[in-house]
Structure 1
């Protein structure tokens, strides 16, 4: 199955959703290349960048699940880097 490199930008405004977000990221951890989190305490938000190399459907599923969390928004940016699947 072919994979794509993508970036999910996440903004968390409701701290009570952090545990559920971390659980989702743990479930998809085998696709995650890296992640960076920045707390912006003055504004009461956390900004998280997650970079993945995963099948298109896995990226879409994760982004959708994140976006359904209360007080969490997510946007996904896809690269043109596609790795063909093994036949």
Structure 2
């Protein structure tokens, strides 16, 4: 299956659920190229970007699991190839 690069953007508005997010990301660590988290105390949230190199079905499964966590929003941008 063809692998693609994707940027997963996550907005965390419920910091109590970050541990669950980290567990999910740990389960997919073989596909993660890098990640960056930026706290934004003014709005009481955190912005996290995760870059992955994985097949489409893996990326979809990962973002689907993240999207089911209460208090988190997730969007994904894919490379063309």
CA distance in 2, matches of 1:2, 1:77: 16
Structure 2 length-normalised TM: 0.97
TM-score (normalizing by structure 1): 0.90
Aligned residues: 81
Deviations 1:25-71 (A, max 9, x none): 00000000000100001110000000000010000010011011010
Greater C-alpha Rg: 1
Q: In angstroms, what is the RMSD of aligned CA positions?
A: 0.6
- Offset, 1:2: 1.3
Structure 1 unaligned blocks of 5 or more: 82-87
Tell me if 1:68 matches 2:68: yes
4+ long deviations beyond 6 Å: none
